[in-house]
Amino acid sequence: MFSLWPTFSRWLWFPLWRIGTTAAIVLASLLKQVNAILYWDDRPVILEEDDVNIWPPNIRPRNIKRALNRRMHGRDRCVDVQYLSHGASHVVLLAKTSYKEEYVVRVTGSVYEHFQWAHPFWQTYKETSEVASMVALRRLTKIPVPRVYLFDEDRDNAVGGVWTLQDYMEGERLYEFLPELSGEALEQMLQVFHLEFSQIGSLHFTRPLNEIRDVCDDDLEIRVGRLVTLRDLRMENEYMVGSPKDTDMGPWDSSKAWLKSIAQGDMDYQSSFVELDSNDEHIRRIQRIIDEPEESNGLFTSGPLSVNAPWCTDMWNTHNIQAVCKDGTVKLVALLDMEGMQIVPRWVLGRLPLLDELPDESSRVLWKFLLEDPLYKQAHEQGSKARHLLVLAQNASVPHWADKRIEEFRDGDWEDNGTLAG
């Protein structure tokens, strides 16, 4: 006679925790499928902790595949596009071709509220400058920067955001390997600090990129031009009405000219807020301090620290540096993010990076390596007064506590927090 008892009796002994775990996995899978059906398209469903899909609703993988096949020409055909990663201001996809090649497609876009607020205020040349920075570092250093093949401003809104096609460079975040970081790997990164440029600003191409089939292979001229700045975009501001005026964004031939421009607010994002207290006199006071001799204000006008070199917000962000560890040796395989890169005086760059994602021990490992470079050590130790002068310039339009800030500068009473370039 058929009986359910043997089967039922086995379930009695099945661990309850395993039943619960299995149910949770099944439920998560069903939730993901339901979300995909509700969105009614092929976009990935990447859920945050609050079950919000961070994937931009206007960016669809099938549209990216079509756009790639229109631009790739004889290179290959894209057969699949899959989610790879995302950041605050972009999403990254892995594109696979019929020749089994793999590329990265980086698309500007996000559903984060802060990015949606900030994006309309971006300078129009921000993204092309980022590509110019990547190409320049590939030409001038041995730093492993991804090769950029295609750049598209998406004027026809075919993809949903400005996009690039780049090399896929596989590795792990440097965060995982920092304690084992070798001197050779760090020397690669410090090549940026040892580059030399005659002007202050950001890097730009001299002609458009939209019709170029291989950006890195093309004989494109790159020059220092108008500055790209991300300052004041870190916090929502109800008074902000526009990006800085292009006519006042450089390039500058000297640190003094650059600092004076900062002091008079040329790099500030346009605002509808009107300061009740007059600050013109305070701005002139700061500009007079900038004009003082080096012995008084600490501003280098000659020598190695007066030379200009590249800097960007995420230069030392270990989440943007890919690496592999083999036989206990760390090798850098990719520096991924050149967003907002600027060419600024070396004295600006000498502040030791403060990285929130790193434990104190790992930060000390990084600082130790940096300070073993004689030029970086010189910038760190001798450039602090000039960096505080930069802070004075950045606050010149704020009359509150103006006398106290100047007094602290004269007395050498400051924190070294001047690496807020732009």
Q: pLDDT tens-digit profile of 187-200?
A: 888 899 999 999 99
Dihedral sign of CA atoms 413, 417, 119, 253 in order:
positive
Whole-number Å distance between alpha carbons of 228 and 421: 10
Give the domain range for residue 369. 172-411
Does residue 294 lie within any of the structural domains? yes
Backbone region of residue 350 per phi and psi (left: phi > 0; alpha: psi in -120 to 50; beta: other values): alpha
pLDDT tens digits along 336-374:
888 889 999 999 988 877 666 677 777 787 788 888 899
Q: How much is the mean pLDDT over the chain?
A: 84
CA distance 299 to 289: 10
Beta bridge partners, 205, equal 222
Decide which of 4 and 68 is more confident: 68
DSSP 343-384: EEEHHHHTSPP--TTS-HHHHHHHHHHHHTSHHHHHHHHHSH
Both tokens of 347, joined, read: 């004295």
Distance CA 327, CA 266 (A): 51
Q: Is residue 3 part of a domain?
A: no
**Block residue for tokens 């760390």:** 330
- The reported pLDDT for the residue numbered 11 is 46
Max Cα distance, the chain (Å) = 104
Torsion of CA 394, 396, 397, 403, to 10 degrees: 140
Which pLDDT does position 20 carry in this prediction? 60
Q: Is residue 209 part of a domain?
A: yes
pLDDT of residue 174: 79
Residue in the structure block whose two tokens are 């790193």:
358
> Which of the four pLDDT bands, split at 50, 70 and 90, describes residue 8?
very low
Query: Is the pLDDT assigned to residue 298 strictly greater than 60?
Result: yes
> What's the whole-number mean pLDDT along residues 380-407?
90
Rounded mean pLDDT of 102-111? 92
| Helix or strand run (H / E) with residue 7 | helix 5-12
Q: Is residue 219 part of a domain?
A: yes
Judge whether residue 4 has pLDDT over 50: no
Tokens of 17: 């925790």
User: pLDDT category, 37, cuts 50, 70, 90?
Assistant: low
**More reliable by pLDDT, 275 or 243:** 243
The whole-number pLDDT of residue 335 equals: 83
Task: Identify the band that residue 41 occupies on the pLDDT scale cut at 50, 70 and 90.
Answer: low
What's the CA gap between 334 and 322, in Å, rounded? 5
Helix, strand, coil abundance in the chain, percent, nearest 5: 40, 20, 45
Rg, C-alpha atoms of the chain:
26
Mean pLDDT over 262-269 rounds to 90
Which pLDDT band, with edges at 50, 70 and 90, does 24 fall under? low
Q: What is the sign of the dihedral through the CA atoms of 255, 258, 261 and 265?
A: negative
CA 422 – CA 416 distance, rounded (Å): 16
User: Which of 149-158, 207-216, 314-323 holds the top average pLDDT?
Assistant: 149-158
CA dist list (Å): 184 to 14, 320, 321, 331, 379:
54, 19, 15, 8, 21
Evaluate if residue 229 carries a pLDDT over 70. yes
Report the alpha-carbon distance of residue 314 to residue 376 in Å, rounded: 18
Residues 20-41 have a mean pLDDT of 60
Sign of CA dihedral 124, 56, 52, 335: negative
Lookup: tokens for 179:
């304690």
Helix (H, G, I), strand (E, B) or coil at 16: helix
| Residue 37 domain flag | no
Of 58-62, 145-149, 169-173, 287-291, the one with minimum mean pLDDT is: 169-173
Q: Is 225 domain-assigned?
A: yes
Count of the separate structural domains present in the chain = 1
Q: What is the DSSP letter of 73?
A: G
Average pLDDT rounded to a whole number, residues 139-150? 93
Confidence of residue 28 (pLDDT cuts 50, 70, 90): low
pLDDT of amino acid 320: 80
Supply the DSSP symbol for 318.
G
Is residue 8 in some structural domain?
no
| Average pLDDT of span 76-87 | 90
Per the model's pLDDT, the better-predicted residue between 25 and 415 turns out to be 415
Q: Note the pLDDT of residue 397.
A: 85
- Torsion, Cα 40 43 44 49, to 10 degrees, reads -70
| Burial class (CB within 10 angstroms; exposed 0-12, middle 13-18, buried 19+) of 248 | middle
The pLDDT of residue 34 is 60
Residue 35 domain-assigned (yes or no) = no
Query: d(Cα 390, Cα 384) in Å, to the nearest integer?
Result: 10
Give the CA angle between residues 387, 223, 248 to the nearest 5°.
60
